[in-house]
Amino acid sequence: MLADEQSSQRLPGYCALCVSRCGAIAVIEDGRFVALEPDPSHPTGKALCAKGRAAPELVYHADHLHYPLKRTRPKGDPDPGWQRITWDEALDLVAANLRSIAETHGPESVVFSAVSPSTSASDDSVVWIQRLMNAFGSPNLCYSMELCGWGRYQATQYTFGAPVPGAYLPDLENAGCILFWGYNPNVARLAHATATVEAVKRGARLIVVDPRRTGIAKKADLWLQVRPGTDAALALGIANVMIARGWYDREFVREWTNGPLLVRSDNGRLLTQRDLAVEGSAQKYVAWNEALGRPIIYDPTTGTYEGEQSDVALFGQYQIELLTGQVVCHPAFQLTADLCRRYPPEEVEAISGVDRNQVEATAQMLWEARPMAYYAWSGVEMQTNSTQIARAIAQLYALTGSFDSLGGNVLFAAVPTANVTGMELMAAAQRAKTLGLSERPLGPSRWGHVTSDDLYRGILEQKPYPVRGLVGFGANLLLAHADVQRGREALAALDFYVHADLFMNPTAELADVVLPVASAFEREALKIGFEISADAQSLVQLRQRMAEPQGEVRSDTQIVFNLAQRLGLGAHFWEGDIEAAYRYQLGPSGIALTALREQPGGIHAAPPTRYRKFAEQVDGRPRGFNTPTHKIELYSETMLEHGYPPLPEFAEPLVGPISRPDLAERYPLILTCAKNGLFCETQHRALPSLRRKARDPEVELHPMAAAERGIRPGDWVYIESPEGRVRARAVLNDTLKPNVVCGQHGWWQAAPEIGAPGYDPFGPDGANFNLLIGIGAIDPISGSVPHRAYLCQIRLLD
């Protein structure tokens, strides 16, 4: 309909290209989408980045896939021999192959992959992809969680029993102190950046931890230039100063953490009532009551101690009489303090490079400028110690007592909706078949997220069972993950691979069928909650289509519904009626789909946000936390039971100058990487307006490091690591430490309109950053790969 309109229109909506979901106005001239502009009336619409403004280029780009394609030549052939086919042919072919694999090898032998919604428009369809997986019977979603999301969504569940800061977001409007750790909202979430600038203007203090002095770091009261990978030591060191100086919320720690619970010195386990009495419960724990001078029982089902809460000890050493004899016990908080004491400011400086005075100043600011809110991003997730880094930062945050309080990290009130992920459609026994669960039972697989390493092992080694099929929704695995050559071999070995995407890419080229996906601007989509603030989270918006779909493209959601019907799963998908699915999803909210169409700017429907929900009384007892002790777990017995440290201990990066001096002699530089804000990870380098601003891949290095190697600004250089070699242009950055360099990932596309070349994604003369990173040293809990802390050398191109 848009193509026939001969007028100028301004359609309210939002840009869906990344997690910021910035409110925007689409400008339509004579039926053609010509511009996207910020919408200041929208709660996330204060600004719009360059990639959002390039939306019309994305829609109308000549390389945008328009029709389904089928491979006609073997996967070893450099020319896939793509043949255009109809949607009916494509869907029938995909469904037939998936059914055949499931019937022969089980539905778990088909893995689904999806690009992260943090860096794409997949947020429109993720819940429906999950529903299709559950209905089909596959427990395996390759979702990049080990690289982007593990720390903020899953690792901290072992501390808070909830995703912090992934779901408990920083209340920037009310925060007194904001801590960004490995997170640059200027390029990752623009709505956070604008909210932070406003917060600083009203007087909030800002602390940024990052090896690079990013844009947001320039506005910080304190910028902590940490050596990549040593973040846990820094967090423990700051916590040490806070505990030593008494700069922590004693009442909160005593009442809402498991800090008072006694830990046995003989086996490291929490002392239980069963240890003290034959009839005692193993699910009740023990603390020391200072007023009574004896142990008392804590019951997690009621969240209460015997006697007065204020009398439980946080420090001390106690000789406890057990059924089997005596044992020395300490409160968990004493052990926390003992661990932190190993990291005095001078030791933190020696390890991390952060000045000891800054360590002290940070501790003081976190305490005195409360309430404190924080956000950590992939800078601390792509590490060999990522789990303990996340837990150490979470522990530091717990000391402030700001959790779920006004100005802290808050679970903003959500619009009531029906859960449509379809978890109930898959049996627990089938879900237990998730790849990687036996190797890393506390890692992403616990939540059904498999790593690329799990996927490749399942294909090539058939462990723990053969993986035969892959259904990909936009995940460009070979440009986004390490172990590129093994990944290429694995994808080529699949019995069947279908990939849905906007553009052909090196990963899609290994598919048997490629399906053309509509960009976010060519499709309608429902968004429930915008996360950034209480006001934004209360907004429900049906994003209008801003441009006529090009060729025969379909939305990811439409592809899911179409495929579900072909697989005989239509009953779980409202027989293919997406609007019926939306109505069901919106049901509890009371919002009609027709009302959203009548009000394209959206409808606010969430109740007021409640704070300190953990303290609310439910059936006469506090709600508490979703952890085994119903408290924030500074000391994790779950970790201990699986052979991991119960406290968040620091460990040197496994491929670094301290751990691998044998490598450091040949590769003396510490390699990290950063996102380029012009692009959505591996996407959009073909768009001329963006590529003009960044024509070539770059590597930042200190002028001193450059001079030692005879490198000048703009020179082509090789980045070499123990794993391989790639090319980039040198950019000098005097804010880096002389031994740290920063690269970029995602380079492969050409932009022929402006003469900008593409790059071989698999060869040493290309620019695929992931060829430099090995998976021999990964986080043992999560499988996280050290893209942000490795070793390299920089050499002038011959």
Q: How far is CA 70 from CA 91, 315, 405, 490, 758, in A?
A: 11, 67, 54, 20, 24
E strand or H helix that includes residue 454: helix 452-460
Tell me whether the omega of the peptide bond preceding residue 516 falls within 30 degrees of 0, making it cis: no
User: Taking residues 440-444, what's their average pLDDT?
Assistant: 98
Residue 483, token pair as written in the block: 């172990």
DSSP 623: -
Please write the tens of the pLDDT for every residue from 691-725: 999 999 999 999 999 999 999 999 999 999 999 99
User: Taking residues 630-647, what's their average pLDDT?
Assistant: 98
E strand or H helix that includes residue 747: none
267: which residues sit within 8 A by CB, 6+ positions away?
none
Helix (DSSP H) and strand (DSSP E) numbers for the chain? 26, 34
User: Taking residues 59-68, what's their average pLDDT?
Assistant: 97
- Per cent of the chain over pLDDT 70 is 99
Indicate the pLDDT class of residue 4, thresholds 50, 70 and 90. very low
State the CB neighbour count (10 A cutoff) for residue 616.
12
pLDDT, residue 792, reads 98
Please write the tens of the pLDDT for every residue from 237-251: 999 999 999 999 999
C-alpha 73/C-alpha 56 separation (Å) is 34
Question: Regarding beta strands 617-618 and 32-38, do their DSSP bridges make them parallel or antiparallel, or are they unpaired?
Answer: unpaired
C-alpha 165/C-alpha 431 separation (Å) is 26
- Per cent of the chain over pLDDT 90 is 96
pLDDT, residue 3, reads 44
pLDDT, residue 37, reads 98
State the CB neighbour count (10 A cutoff) for residue 626.
11
pLDDT, residue 309, reads 77
State the CB neighbour count (10 A cutoff) for residue 6.
7
C-alpha 187/C-alpha 171 separation (Å) is 19
Question: Residue 6 pLDDT more than 70?
Answer: no
643 φ/ψ sector (left φ>0, alpha ψ -120 to 50, else beta)? left
Indicate the pLDDT class of residue 307, thresholds 50, 70 and 90. confident
User: Taking residues 71-91, what's their average pLDDT?
Assistant: 96
C-alpha 523/C-alpha 557 separation (Å) is 10
Could you please report the per-residue DSSP string of 101-123?
A: HHHHH-GGGEEEEE--GGGSSGG
φ, ψ at 581 (rounded to 5°): -65, -45
Q: How far is CA 401 from CA 331, 404, 406, 560, 787, in A?
A: 19, 9, 11, 44, 33
Beta carbons of 178 and 472 less than 8 angstroms apart: no
Please write the tens of the pLDDT for every residue from 646-662: 999 999 999 999 999 99
pLDDT, residue 76, reads 85
Nearest to 382 by CA among 229, 166, 181, 517: 229
C-alpha 767/C-alpha 379 separation (Å) is 21
Beta carbons of 209 and 376 less than 8 angstroms apart: no
Indicate the pLDDT class of residue 498, thresholds 50, 70 and 90. very high
Strands, E assignment, 512-581: 513-516, 525-528, 539-543
State the CB neighbour count (10 A cutoff) for residue 282.
10
Indicate the pLDDT class of residue 119, thresholds 50, 70 and 90. confident
Question: Residue 107 pLDDT more than 80?
Answer: yes
Question: Residue 1 pLDDT more than 80?
Answer: no
62 Cα distance to chain centroid: 32
User: Taking residues 38-46, what's their average pLDDT?
Assistant: 97
DSSP 757: P
DSSP 79: S
Indicate the pLDDT class of residue 308, thresholds 50, 70 and 90. confident
Strands, E assignment, 580-658: 603-604, 617-618, 621-622
Residue 379, token pair as written in the block: 């800078």
Nearest to 343 by CA among 236, 213, 497, 462: 236
Question: Residue 400 pLDDT more than 50?
Answer: yes
The mean predicted confidence, pLDDT, of the chain is 96
Strands, E assignment, 544-606: 603-604
Question: Residue 320 pLDDT more than 60?
Answer: yes
